[in-house]
């Protein structure tokens, strides 16, 4: 084919290794990804890609692996400003006596703007291209995602207590739905209902929410079975386990993301498997708050779709999804008593395609497949911590620290280029974050 017959393209990325995640288990060498108009247009052997395409730019990454952008399926981004505020406490004390009072006093638009921007810096630096957020002022979160070119699912939060975001249940719905209307059909931002937890939202409100979610065809994202105490309280108050109650209210479906899912009995696992409920595992948060353990291997054995979340930086305290994948793989082995449980490739799938599936975005992101958005992460595997490379996927999950992420693209646009932020003024964002401990009275 003569040169002038080559198809134009924006970018050709040539990494040493390419892990597309779909098909599962595949590792490609000397392949290239061709990007145009924000989308992946081809995944080909490099020589073939160069025969077919005339890219405006070519990026060589000779010691690197290219993977789909990481999907953080559960986070409270603005809570980065509360990182380290009240550590080493049980969940009820931590939430009721420290986090909620601080939020009720401070969690206004400025707090959410400064905290979310800090979270975006941390998430981009760690290779996260999409995050599913549950917090107040989702309008601010969505605006920032667009401004800084990060894919977001803005949570229409519902919690039955007054906060700076909404005074009444009706106001939670009306303000959330305004965000949904504003971002409907947006290429970067979508929305999900985010009822906080079974213990903080009543039956009538959950029924109303389910009806709206069905009408608007948006997913629902909720903390469920975070602790054994939550299950015991529900048995006392409602005479049923939280999952059984949510099922009675018609919420459990493939469009319902159940976050945490500890203290599960066989009947709970049957229920989520039958209803095809995706489970979002947040291992570091569960460990730090002594919440309990999610039986990931048992869920996987039943065909339950699994995703990973960091949770908020007040209960983790890092927004490091590569770290969560490692922790999930290690923890699954101990919880199941089987060292072959949750192998590296499965943990990486949870961190990418699993998250995309849970969010209803698997047609658009989550794997390196022609036609999907070019949401991509490149990790440098050269250097003392990650050499030699026997198995690329093992190296990524068990070894690679997030600071070896070199480049990140969202919809084809670089947001991290050779370690440098391109869409956020990092100096200014960090300066603003540094002012908050004084305001929160914690200096």
Point out which residues bind Zn ion (CB under 5 A).
311
Residue 394 beta carbon to Zn ion: minimum distance, rounded to whole angstroms: 29
Nearer to Zn ion, 28 or 259 (CB): 259
Show Cβ contacts of residue 172 under 8 Å, excluding neighbours closer than 6 positions: 156, 157, 158, 159, 165, 166
Residue 227 beta carbon to Zn ion: minimum distance, rounded to whole angstroms: 12
Q: Would you state the structure tokens that stand for residue 335, as one six-digit string?
A: 């919880």
Nearer to Zn ion, 75 or 304 (CB): 75
Place of tokens 């039943």: 302
Indicate the burial class of 413 (C-beta count within 10 angstroms; 0-12, 13-18, 19 or more). middle
Of 373, 408, 443, 393, the residue nearest 24 (C-alpha):
393
Q: What are phi and psi of 28, to 5 degrees?
A: -105, 145
Residue 309 beta carbon to Zn ion: minimum distance, rounded to whole angstroms: 7
Nearer to Zn ion, 315 or 336 (CB): 315
| Cα-based angle 235, 238, 243 (whole degrees, multiple of 5) | 70
Nearer to Zn ion, 316 or 377 (CB): 316
Nearer to Zn ion, 287 or 389 (CB): 287
Residue 74 beta carbon to Zn ion: minimum distance, rounded to whole angstroms: 6
Please answer whether residues 210 and 201 qualify as being in contact, where contact means their C-beta atoms are separated by less than 8 angstroms. Answer: no
Residue 260 beta carbon to Zn ion: minimum distance, rounded to whole angstroms: 8
Helices (H) and strands (E) in the chain, counts: 18, 17
DSSP state letters, 253-292:
STTEEEEE--S--HHHHHHHHHHT--EEE-HHHHHHTT--
d(CA 207, CA 216): 14
Nearer to Zn ion, 10 or 311 (CB): 311
Residue 319 beta carbon to Zn ion: minimum distance, rounded to whole angstroms: 12
Nearer to Zn ion, 34 or 257 (CB): 257
Show Cβ contacts of residue 264 under 8 Å, excluding neighbours closer than 6 positions: 225, 294, 295, 298, 299
3-state secondary structure 125-194: HCCEEEEEECCCCHHHHHHHHHHHCCEEEEEEEECCCCCCCCCCHHHHHHHHHHHHHHHCCCCCEEEEEE
Show Cβ contacts of residue 251 under 8 Å, excluding neighbours closer than 6 positions: 206, 210, 220, 222
- Residue 423 per-residue DSSP state: S
Helices 138-148 + 169-183 axis angle, to 10: 20
Nearer to Zn ion, 103 or 311 (CB): 311
Residue 170 beta carbon to Zn ion: minimum distance, rounded to whole angstroms: 24
Please answer whether residues 21 and 68 qualify as being in contact, where contact means their C-beta atoms are separated by less than 8 angstroms. Answer: yes
Residue 286 beta carbon to Zn ion: minimum distance, rounded to whole angstroms: 10
Residue 139 beta carbon to Zn ion: minimum distance, rounded to whole angstroms: 20
- Residue 11 is inside which H or E element, if any? strand 7-18
DSSP state letters, 294-325:
--HHHHHHTT--EEE----TTSSS---HHHHH
Residue 209 beta carbon to Zn ion: minimum distance, rounded to whole angstroms: 18
Nearer to Zn ion, 20 or 292 (CB): 292
Nearer to Zn ion, 79 or 397 (CB): 79
């Amino acid at each position: 084919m003569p040169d002038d017959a080559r198809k134009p393209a924006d970018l050709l990325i040539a990494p040493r290794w390419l892990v597309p995640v779909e098909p599962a288990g595949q590792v490609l060498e000397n392949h290239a990804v061709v990007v145009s108009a924000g989308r992946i247009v081809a995944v080909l052997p490099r020589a073939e890609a160069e025969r077919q395409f005339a890219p405006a730019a070519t990026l060589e990454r000779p010691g690197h692996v290219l993977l789909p952008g990481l999907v953080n399926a559960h986070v409270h981004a603005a809570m980065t400003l509360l990182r380290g505020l009240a550590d080493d406490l049980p969940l009820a004390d931590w939430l009721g006596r420290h986090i909620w009072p601080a939020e009720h006093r401070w969690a206004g638009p400025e707090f959410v703007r400064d905290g979310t921007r800090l979270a975006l810096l941390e998430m981009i630096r760690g290779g996260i291209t999409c995050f599913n957020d549950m917090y107040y002022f989702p309008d601010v979160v969505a605006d920032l995602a667009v401004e800084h070119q990060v894919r977001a699912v803005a949570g229409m939060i519902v919690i039955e207590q007054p906060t700076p975001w909404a005074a009444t249940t009706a106001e939670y719905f009306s303000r959330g739905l305004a965000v949904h209307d504003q971002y409907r059909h947006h290429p970067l931002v979508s929305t999900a209902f985010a009822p906080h937890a079974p213990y903080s939202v009543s039956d009538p409100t959950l029924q109303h929410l389910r009806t709206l979610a069905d009408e608007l065809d948006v997913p629902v994202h909720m903390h469920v079975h975070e602790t054994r105490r939550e299950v015991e309280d529900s048995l006392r108050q409602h005479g049923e386990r939280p999952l059984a109650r949510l099922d009675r209210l018609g919420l459990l479906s493939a469009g319902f993301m159940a976050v945490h899912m500890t203290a599960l009995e066989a009947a709970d696992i049957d229920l989520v498997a039958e209803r095809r409920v995706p489970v979002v595992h947040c291992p570091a948060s569960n460990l730090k708050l002594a919440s309990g353990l999610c039986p990931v291997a048992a869920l996987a054995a039943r065909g339950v779709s699994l995703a990973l979340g960091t949770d908020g930086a007040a209960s983790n305290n890092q927004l490091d999804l590569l770290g969560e994948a490692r922790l999930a793989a290690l923890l699954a082995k101990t919880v199941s008593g089987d060292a072959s449980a949750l192998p590296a490739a499965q943990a990486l799938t949870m961190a990418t395609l699993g998250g995309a599936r849970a969010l209803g975005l698997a047609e658009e992101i989550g794997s390196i497949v022609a036609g999907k958005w070019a949401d991509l992460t490149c990790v440098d595997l050269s250097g003392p911590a990650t050499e030699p490379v026997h198995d690329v996927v093992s190296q990524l999950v068990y070894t690679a620290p997030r600071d070896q992420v070199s480049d990140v693209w969202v919809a084809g646009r670089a947001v991290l280029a050779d370690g440098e932020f391109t869409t956020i003024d990092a100096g200014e964002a960090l300066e603003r974050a540094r002012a908050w401990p004084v305001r929160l009275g914690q200096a």
